[in-house]
Amino acid sequence: MKEPTKPRRRWVMPLLFISLSLNLLVVGAIVGRSFAPDDHRGNRDRVPGALRSVIGEPFVRALEPDDRRALVEDVRREARKIRENRESLRGRFETFLTALRADPFVAEDVKRLLQEQRQVAQGRQELGETLLLNRLTEMDAAARAAYADRLEKSLKALRRR
């Protein structure tokens, strides 16, 4: 006597395929992250955006973790100035785009806007330099020398890229 056949479940194979694909995706992400260069791992050396916007990343990365945290706090205290600076740059950029599209094009207007943007950006850079200098001034000679060594190493690594 013939055994009754079980109905075929057509949804099982696609479900298994999707499950396998998702598992491979997760494993690939984990393996990829473990082999990624250090500056793409989101490790403890990651420099917060607000800090990066006023001080060059190599200068911040070369700081000891405690000094970096203190510098982050210094930047947070200046957040209002940084935000105003960013908003000013954004507004000037919109004006710049309008001047670029103007017909007739007035080169002097664009030149003036570029100079204003440079001054605003320079103000942000000066703020970052002041904050970094304050932090460096608080270090003793040995700590500054160690900072200089780390900074030199970091800059050499950047040049090799």
* Predicted local distance difference test score (pLDDT) of residue 21: 77
From the number of C-beta atoms within 10 Å of its C-beta (0-12, 13-18, 19+), residue 47 rates as buried
R_g (Cα) of the chain, nearest Å: 27
* Predicted local distance difference test score (pLDDT) of residue 108: 92
Q: Which residue, 161, 146, 156, is CA-closest to 63? A: 146
Tens of pLDDT, residue by residue over 44-83, are 455 555 566 677 788 888 889 999 888 888 888 888 887 7
Ordered by start, the domain boundaries in the chain are 11-43, 46-160
Q: Among 11-20, 88-97, 113-122, 150-159, name the one with the lowest average pLDDT.
A: 11-20
* Predicted local distance difference test score (pLDDT) of residue 139: 93
Topology of domain 46-160, per CATH? Four Helix Bundle (Hemerythrin (Met), subunit A) (1.20.120)
Q: How confident is the model at residue 40 (pLDDT cuts 50, 70, 90)?
A: very low
From the number of C-beta atoms within 10 Å of its C-beta (0-12, 13-18, 19+), residue 126 rates as exposed
Amino acid (one-letter) located at 22: L
Tens of pLDDT, residue by residue over 126-138, are 888 999 999 999 9
Report the C-alpha gap between 26 and 55 in whole angstroms: 36
